[in-house]
Structure 1
Amino acid sequence: MTSSPSPAYGLVCLTVGPDIRFRTITLSRYRVLTPAEREAKLLDLYADNVARVRRAADFCAARGIRLYRLSSSLFPMFDLAGDDTGRAVLDHLAPQVQAAGQAFRDAGIRVLMHPEQFIVLNSDRPEVRTSSARTLAAHADTLDRFGFERSTWNLLLLHGGKGGRAAELAALIPDLPDAVRLRLGLENDERAYGPAELLPVCEGTGVPFVFDAHHHVVRERLPDQEDPSVREWVLAARRTWHPPEWQVVHLSNGLEGPQDRRHSYLIAQLPAAYWDVPWIEVEAKGKEEALAALMGAQAAGLQVDVVAVEE
């Protein structure tokens, strides 16, 4: 398995179009259903979402997209404590799930997952740690069911979690289940964990560091993503990837300037520090439109800054 030509831009799961939009159900709605109704509802919902994942593989393959972020909301209620309805439904749908995963593998598309930020493994509250571990294990089980390998090729990405508890995070990582630990990556954020706080955790545990320049600029109040520290952190992060050719970074622009936490619709600026990064996940509100603009500029040999930011 090798990386694509530099860079391979990645599509984030949620989409502005109908092709890959996934269905869900709220917990309050689910709880009013009878056991039989719950099973029927999840069977309908899961089967539809799996079919959409299969279409997502076709969507990406047809457009030359080599990196795809799988939604972490594909199977709502799958991680509920004391309720195995979702697990039983997925067992029933195993052939369809395997076929959807195989479609990505056949097309040579790398698949990642970035669970919700409410997963805080190093919380100072035991009940949050317990629920976070259960939810993360369910996401890893999802990747297993699709047949994605237990390595950082099929990354399972988290933020650092509770601020000031980097030591606690580092201490618990070695004891995570293999399905989680072997895929785990960590990303800097805008508040609790900048690169300086997160890199030692990654170095000490063997977990790769996914660098996000936009988060870094906002947290450190830097003028823009051309700050020299961006390149320094790209290279530092690369040293945590084994092999380094699998390195992933996140790309986004602020809606109304570098310090704006909100993501722009398209990507106007690609930091020079990313020039040799092999895998770039594009976090823009325009989703596939933003990706198409970047890939079009790349194919034409144009500078990315010709792509206008719109809202």
Structure 2
Amino acid sequence: MMIVRLGYVAMSMELKNASPSKTMTFAQFQKIEDREAAIRKLERIALENLENTLRLLKHNVFNDIHFYRLTSRLIPLANHEELSGWDYMRPLKGKLREIGEFVRKHDLRVDFHPDHFVVLNSPKPDVLINSLRTLKLHYMLLKGMKIDPTHRCVLHVGGNYKETETSLERFVTNWSEVPSPIQQLIMLENDDTSFTLEDTLFLCEKLGIPLVFDYHHHLAHHREASWEDQWDRVTTTWKGSPLPIKMHISSPKSQKEFRHHADYVDADMFFRFLNGIKGSVPQIDCMIEAKQKDEALFTLIREIEKREEVEIIDGSSFYIK
């Protein structure tokens, strides 16, 4: 039997007043005449985000949820060019340690998925530099939590620039500019418009990067191609990872808006995937990318409980027979 664990992204629909992504724009920052006071306000917002992150993790443990995506917006303006001298990590060390201790105590899997502006195959040097700076922030947050940063950050391949082969080659070239600790941080995901499963596998196999398979993206972009024929290659990219294989699951909002994520996950669609891979790996962690966040997870597990081919483990995990 194969273990399936469900996770969700960043926000809870059930836990109130617990946003981990509160922010301040640079325009708002500039309106505060005392710069030091403005920086202290940024730090208070960041600490509140971290406190809400801890609340969310406690909510997850209470509900037997073992897999969670941290928001990349924990520290507002962390990498803004006008705040280059701000040591934002210093006031956060205690709270980061507390989060890390909780994660380790309850054996939770946490990771990140930075925003679309992190582009490692960009032809523009400044975009690559800014992308590496953002990835370093994620690395430092994980180190501050004393969590092994290996394979904790999902990225898309980047921009296609109307030439797939050249864009893939540029990723390989730019990879040599990525420091080794940051390389170890990264997983790659197939996307819904530019880089197919086959394209992403090319990079993952060449550079030794785990591939996070997004089933919905594959159907949106390349549905005529069989993902099943490539599954062994996907699992092989995870052979050197300390973590179980992970994938993304979501459902189309509608046939007309197929690429957009629905509020919830279609259980039949999910099980078409699971039945295609059962027995191929001992465990798979499935990150739900649905608008209703944890409520989508709760709804899905209630539907899964009714299926004969599963044995429920707890509030977010089950065996598929």
Note the residue ranges of structure 2 that are not aligned, 5 or more in a row: 311-321
Distance change (3 Å), C-alpha of 1:122 and 1:110? same
Cα deviations across residues 205-263 of structure 1 (Å, max 9, x unaligned)?
Answer: 110011111111111254xxxxx713234332111002576111100000113861111
User: Which structure would you say has the larger RCO, counting Cα contacts within 8 Å and 6 or more residues apart?
Assistant: 2
The question of whether the paired residues in 1 share the 8 Å contact of 2:120 and 2:175 is answered with no
Task: Please say if 1:229 is aligned against 2:226.
Answer: yes
Distance change (3 Å), C-alpha of 1:73 and 1:259? same
Q: Which residue is equivalent to 1:290?
A: 296
Match of 2:248 among 243, 247, 250: 250
Question: In structure 1, how many angstroms separate the alpha carbons of the residues matched to 2:62 and 2:297?
Answer: 13
Question: In structure 2, how many angstroms separate the alpha carbons of the residues matched to 1:156 and 1:15?
Answer: 21
Report the identity percentage. 24
Question: In structure 2, how many angstroms separate the alpha carbons of the residues matched to 1:141 and 1:302?
Answer: 44
Q: Which amino acid aligns with 1:92?
A: P
Match of 1:188 among 190, 194, 200: 190
Instruction: Output the TM-score relative to the length of structure 2.
Output: 0.84
Distance change (3 Å), C-alpha of 1:41 and 1:76? same
Cα deviations across residues 73-116 of structure 1 (Å, max 9, x unaligned)?
Answer: 11111122352465x24312211111112111211110010000
Instruction: Output the TM-score relative to the length of structure 1.
Output: 0.86
The aligned length equals 293
Q: Which amino acid aligns with 2:47?
A: A
Task: Please say if 1:198 is aligned against 2:200.
Answer: yes
Shift of 1:126: 1.8
Q: Which amino acid aligns with 1:148?
A: I
Question: In structure 1, how many angstroms separate the alpha carbons of the residues matched to 2:229 and 2:17?
Answer: 38
Note the residue ranges of structure 1 that are not aligned, 5 or more in a row: 223-227, 305-311
Question: In structure 1, how many angstroms separate the alpha carbons of the residues matched to 2:296 and 2:240?
Answer: 28
Match of 2:217 among 205, 215, 218: 215
Q: Which amino acid aligns with 1:256?
A: S
Cα deviations across residues 54-86 of structure 1 (Å, max 9, x unaligned)?
Answer: 111101111111110000011111122352465
Please provide the CA RMSD for this pair: 2.4
Question: In structure 2, how many angstroms separate the alpha carbons of the residues matched to 1:27 and 1:177?
Answer: 29
SS at match of 1:144: helix
Cα deviations across residues 260-280 of structure 1 (Å, max 9, x unaligned)?
Answer: 111111111214233436110
Q: Which amino acid aligns with 1:240?
A: T
The question of whether the paired residues in 2 share the 8 Å contact of 1:214 and 1:254 is answered with yes
The question of whether the paired residues in 1 share the 8 Å contact of 2:249 and 2:270 is answered with yes
The question of whether the paired residues in 2 share the 8 Å contact of 1:218 and 1:259 is answered with no
The question of whether the paired residues in 2 share the 8 Å contact of 1:115 and 1:158 is answered with yes
Task: Please say if 1:71 is aligned against 2:71.
Answer: yes
The question of whether the paired residues in 2 share the 8 Å contact of 1:144 and 1:179 is answered with no
Question: In structure 2, how many angstroms separate the alpha carbons of the residues matched to 1:133 and 1:67?
Answer: 26
Shift of 1:121: 1.4
Q: Which residue is equivalent to 1:307?
A: none
The question of whether the paired residues in 1 share the 8 Å contact of 2:11 and 2:294 is answered with no
Question: In structure 1, how many angstroms separate the alpha carbons of the residues matched to 2:226 and 2:256?
Answer: 15
Q: Which amino acid aligns with 1:232?
A: D
Cα deviations across residues 22-47 of structure 1 (Å, max 9, x unaligned)?
Answer: 21112322233332122221121011
Question: In structure 1, how many angstroms separate the alpha carbons of the residues matched to 2:85 and 2:46?
Answer: 12
Q: Which residue is equivalent to 2:43?
A: 43
Question: In structure 2, how many angstroms separate the alpha carbons of the residues matched to 1:138 and 1:150?
Answer: 12
